Amino acid sequence: MKFTKMQGCGNDYVYVNGFTEQIPLGEKPELVRRISDRHFGVGSDGVIFINPAKEADFEMEMYNADGSRSEMCGNGIRCVGKYVYDKGLTDKKEITVVSAGKLKYLKLTTKENPGTGKEEVCKVRVNMGKPIMEPALIPVKAEGESVVAQPIQVQGQEYQMTCVSMGNPHAVVFMNQVKDLEIEKLGPYFENHERFPNRTNTEFVEIIDRRNVFMRVWERGTGETLACGTGCCATAVACIVNGFTENAITVKVLGGEIEIEWDRESDLIYMTGPAQTVFEGEI
């Protein structure tokens, strides 16, 4: 099976062309676990299959490193845009990608690769859709119309969380000294907390100023990653509804920076960030 290793701000996935590689659905979870293993496999935060789609230009079929399915990945979908353009599967610079039934709109920015002379995608802007705040739709067990700065007990300590879905569940927690956080100890308790029926991704966020924040993320099914696109979107929403930032911010993550804008008039989230190919391979 041929594959391409790609990354967006260090959030790395193995990409497989579903047009040419036919893998039985039942074999994919074990294959994903083997490929994602950083010691005995290729090494990645998961695997993404790029498939034909009736309702969009392409389908993104995404798996976490533990073999579980995920609904959406912001960094992953940007790399999908780069993959299909750079490999000639499309010549359009505005495309649609469907993932878990949700349609996303991508705008591709290209530049000439001085090494090859070919035009390649360097940056992708994604219309990530409307943020979901209703507890039942995130899902999170909570009363009321939204979960904003609500207390949650984790390992005997109370935290304040704001919950958002960007097609997948997120719990955003604001704190100081995020760089020093022992996230590998705290993250799993948030991920598997009884208040999250489908588990959750957790963002630990420190406010720098009205336009910049620093975030570390614990992704369900994977652990800490260098970036999370949907997590950056959820972080921006949480910052704004709590009154901490403007409507357009830069989210600084361990792997780089991602720009997020919440158009309040249309209630749409726009994410802009890099997408890079690491290497090609065959397994």
For this structure, is 239 an active site residue? no
Six token digits for residue 277: 């190919």
Candidates 9, 79, 163, 228; catalytic one: 228
Q: Which of 9, 73, 79, 163 is catalytic?
A: 73
228 an active-site residue?
yes
Task: Report the alpha-carbon distance of residue 167 to residue 34 in Å, rounded.
Answer: 26
For 132, which DSSP code? B
Strands 248-253 and 212-219: parallel
As a whole number of angstroms, the distance between CA 9 and CA 273 comes to 8
What is the rounded distance in angstroms from the CA atom of residue 165 to the CA atom of residue 26? 28
d(CA 16, CA 21): 7
| 3-state class (DSSP) for residue 190 | helix
Q: What's the CA gap between 149 and 179, in Å, rounded?
A: 21
Residues annotated catalytic, as ranges: 73, 228
